[in-house]
């Protein structure tokens, strides 16, 4: 993978999800599909999208003619402080957010099949490159997207959230494969519905995922009476970008209440949310972030950590960060007085692991009190080294500490850890810890490392130092399907390539009738190649029998339904302005 300074900054645990863009696997039909969608986007979205969209297309160098290469995009994106990587379909939600936090767009390498040209539930390169990339050229929006990633990647998810992610991923893979059987699609939809109906209370991640959907993916902006599109899902869907502005879709002002609205990726959305400007997005995001354990901390945050059954981090008021799987919180009057993790845990400060406190040292878990020491008017973390000695906290000396909560600690001071002038940890030997007559730690268990801090100021999902903790996102077991095209499909793709060559080289126009005859006889269901042939004939002002045949063929395709009729009309409008 060709790198740049933004990609060089990506942590190792995200790199396992990055793949090489399979650029040579894109077929000539894929490139024609990209060309159709992008030209429609520019023709229509120039009127209804936020002004940053068309400006962004120019700034990011995304071609209307061919599917973009990650290498070419990254050479241009780095100038606006961003980068892009190719991934295999949906990635875990927390990883998706983490990429955003590092100013990196994840771009699903696949492209939608032609029968989903108007809308697809699967992430694809049209959605990511043509939807997300142009709008981030706006600095204010790009800052919002980065901050959303920082906050979202630390939101707590439930075990059910991951099951939902896998079900959505599986459905998207099956539906994106043009050769999938109907039974497989129905079973995937049934499974997704079953999981969706049994999610229980919404997790933090579920709520922030909703907010992401109604802003980053499906957001509208500006005057409520005449809003513009900025959400990538709308910008990349030529069907829904028309539908979304109709009176049939309810328009609501964007507030944090949007986080309570679930969505269905397989259906057009019944309502959308309007923000007055990009600055307001950050205000709503901040208001929402105040509801999360990341900012609330305390008993709420620790309970979120326990419920997640996964790695989390609790931050003491001293700055000490405890990362592990939280299993127990002892509380009194609504405040935590003792916390415990189970299994490998490490201790950190400002996102860096403390020397000697890695997962191997705390292999069996970690426990410590939270709160103020009785009869001390100043929090222990604010004592200077000299003041610690004055109250008896001297290395090698015995100490008895009683917390206001009733937790009692007695032992001999073996060491103190001070960071940036704050005491964050006291290590004691021959130590016992009790609370309400219960023994929480006994001398035979070894050294007791007591975290210092009067409160838990923040709790968030994941470890504080991902690399030191060994965080990883294994590549998904189920891969998106590498489409094995049959000989007939390959012959069709060859016709697309011939048409492209004629257009790009501006020669051999006499071959177009021959290509049309083969297309008509061997591939009578294909409309896009016929449209491209007609466009070239019209461009050369050739009005003959072939031109009339193709026009009639395309007009007859309109009888197949409203969706096809609109595709044909829009195709005509690109070069004639008149479908008849």
* 52-66, 489-503, 532-546, 550-564: least confident range: 52-66
Are the CB atoms for 271 and 250 separated by under 8 Å? yes
The CA–CA distances, whole Å, from 374 to 10, 315, 481, 517, 547 equal: 45, 22, 63, 91, 91
Are the CB atoms for 421 and 321 separated by under 8 Å? no
Average pLDDT over residues 435-456: 96
Which pLDDT tens digit goes with each residue over 417-426?
999 999 999 9
pLDDT beyond 60 at 570: yes
Which residues, 6 or more positions from 302, have their beta carbon under 8 angstroms from its beta carbon? 314, 326, 329, 336, 339, 456, 459
| Distance in angstroms (rounded) separating the CA atoms of residues 66 and 43 | 17
| Distance in angstroms (rounded) separating the CA atoms of residues 434 and 505 | 83
Cα dihedral 330/333/337/342 (nearest 10): 20
Which pLDDT tens digit goes with each residue over 85-118?
999 888 888 899 999 999 999 988 889 889 888 7
Chain centre to alpha carbon of residue 273: 19
Which residues, 6 or more positions from 360, have their beta carbon under 8 angstroms from its beta carbon? 344
Q: Which residues pair with 391 in a beta bridge?
A: none
| Distance in angstroms (rounded) separating the CA atoms of residues 69 and 86 | 10
* 158-167, 323-332, 368-377: least confident range: 158-167
Average pLDDT over residues 227-252: 89
pTM: 0.87
Average pLDDT over residues 250-258: 96
Chain centre to alpha carbon of residue 85: 13
The helix/strand/coil state of 434 is: strand
Q: Which one has a higher pLDDT value, 64 or 463?
A: 463
Q: Which residues pair with 329 in a beta bridge?
A: 339
Are the CB atoms for 231 and 180 separated by under 8 Å? no
CATH class label, 293-469: mainly beta
Q: Where are the domains of the chain?
A: 5-286, 293-469, 487-575
Which pLDDT tens digit goes with each residue over 387-415?
998 888 999 999 999 999 999 999 999 99
Which pLDDT tens digit goes with each residue over 144-195?
999 999 999 999 988 888 888 888 889 888 888 878 889 999 999 899 888 8
| Distance in angstroms (rounded) separating the CA atoms of residues 171 and 120 | 11
**How many residues make up the chain in this entry?**
580
Look at residues 425, 441, 424 and name the one whose alpha carbon lies nearest to residue 433.
441
State the greatest distance between any 2 C-alpha atoms of the chain, in Å, as a whole number. 102
pLDDT of residue 89: 86
| Distance in angstroms (rounded) separating the CA atoms of residues 388 and 395 | 10
Q: Which residues pair with 455 in a beta bridge?
A: none
Are the CB atoms for 126 and 105 separated by under 8 Å? no
pLDDT of residue 538: 92
Look at residues 456, 460, 453, 86 and name the one whose alpha carbon lies nearest to residue 305.
460
Q: Choose which CATH entry (1.10.1370.40, 1.20.58.220, 1.20.1090.10, 1.10.800.10) describes domain 5-286.
A: 1.10.800.10
pLDDT of residue 202: 84
pLDDT of residue 275: 97
| Distance in angstroms (rounded) separating the CA atoms of residues 240 and 268 | 7
pLDDT of residue 166: 86
Helix (H) or strand (E) holding 12: helix 12-15
Chain centre to alpha carbon of residue 372: 39
* 10-14, 85-89, 380-384, 573-577: least confident range: 573-577
pLDDT of residue 580: 38
pLDDT beyond 60 at 579: no
- What percentage of the chain has pLDDT greater than the value 90? 63
Report the phi/psi class of residue 430: left, alpha or beta, with left for phi > 0 and alpha for psi in -120 to 50: left
pLDDT beyond 60 at 526: yes
The average confidence (pLDDT) of the chain is 91
pLDDT of residue 42: 83
Look at residues 464, 457, 462, 465 and name the one whose alpha carbon lies nearest to residue 153.
462
């Amino acid at each position: 993978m060709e790198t740049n300074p933004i990609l060089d900054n990506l942590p190792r645990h995200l790199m396992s999800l990055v793949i090489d863009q399979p650029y040579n696997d894109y077929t000539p039909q894929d490139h024609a599909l990209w060309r159709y969608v992008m030209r429609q986007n520019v023709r229509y979205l120039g009127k209804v999208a936020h002004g940053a969209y068309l400006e962004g297309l120019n700034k990011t160098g995304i071609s209307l003619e061919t599917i973009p290469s990650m290498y070419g995009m990254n050479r241009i994106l780095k100038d606006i402080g961003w980068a892009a990587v190719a991934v295999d379909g949906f990635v875990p939600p927390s990883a998706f957010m983490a990429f955003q936090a590092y100013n990196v767009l994840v771009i699903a390498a696949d492209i939608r099949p032609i029968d989903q040209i108007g809308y697809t539930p699967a992430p694809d390169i049209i959605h990511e490159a043509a939807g997300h990339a142009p709008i981030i050229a706006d600095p204010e929006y790009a800052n919002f997207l980065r901050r959303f990633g920082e906050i979202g990647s630390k939101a707590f998810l439930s075990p059910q959230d991951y099951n939902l992610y896998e079900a959505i991923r599986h459905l998207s893979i099956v539906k994106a494969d043009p050769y999938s059987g109907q039974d497989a699609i129905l079973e995937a939809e049934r499974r997704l519905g079953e999981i969706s109906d049994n999610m229980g209370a919404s997790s933090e991640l579920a709520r922030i995922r909703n907010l992401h959907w109604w802003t980053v993916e499906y957001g509208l902006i500006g005057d409520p009476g005449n809003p513009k599109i900025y959400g990538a899902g709308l910008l990349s869907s030529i069907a829904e970008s028309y539908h979304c502005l109709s009176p049939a879709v309810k328009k609501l002002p964007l507030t944090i209440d949007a986080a309570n609205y679930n969505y269905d990726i397989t259906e057009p959305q019944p309502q959308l949310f309007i923000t007055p400007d990009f600055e307001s997005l950050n205000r709503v995001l901040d208001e929402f972030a105040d509801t999360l354990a990341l900012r609330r901390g305390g008993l709420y945050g620790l309970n979120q950590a326990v419920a997640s059954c996964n790695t989390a981090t609790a931050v003491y008021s001293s700055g000490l960060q405890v990362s592990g799987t939280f299993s127990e919180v002892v509380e009194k009057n609504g405040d935590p007085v003792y916390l415990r993790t189970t299994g490998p845990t490490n201790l950190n400060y400002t996102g860096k692991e403390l020397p000697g406190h890695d997962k191997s040292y705390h292999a069996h878990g970690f426990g410590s009190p939270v709160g103020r020491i009785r009869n001390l008017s100043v929090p222990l973390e604010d004592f200077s080294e000299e003041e610690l000695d004055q109250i008896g906290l001297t290395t090698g000396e015995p100490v008895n500490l009683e917390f206001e909560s009733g937790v009692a600690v007695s032992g001999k001071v073996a060491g103190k850890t001070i960071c940036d002038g704050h005491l964050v940890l006291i290590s004691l030997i021959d130590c016992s810890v009790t609370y309400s007559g219960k023994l929480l730690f006994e001398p035979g268990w070894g050294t007791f490392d007591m975290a210092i801090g009067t409160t838990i100021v923040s709790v968030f999902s994941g470890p504080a130092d991902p690399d030191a903790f060994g965080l990883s996102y294994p590549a998904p077991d189920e891969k998106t399907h590498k489409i094995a095209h049959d000989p007939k499909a390959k012959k069709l793709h060859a016709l697309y390539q011939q048409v492209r060559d004629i257009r790009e080289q501006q020669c051999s126009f006499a071959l177009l009738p021959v290509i049309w005859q083969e297309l008509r006889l061997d591939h009578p269901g294909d409309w896009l190649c016929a449209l491209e042939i007609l466009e070239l004939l019209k461009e050369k002002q050739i009005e003959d029998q072939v031109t009339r045949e193709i026009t009639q063929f395309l007009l007859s395709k309109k009888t197949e339904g409203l969706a096809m009729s609109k595709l044909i009309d829009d195709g005509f409008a690109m070069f004639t302005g008149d479908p008849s």
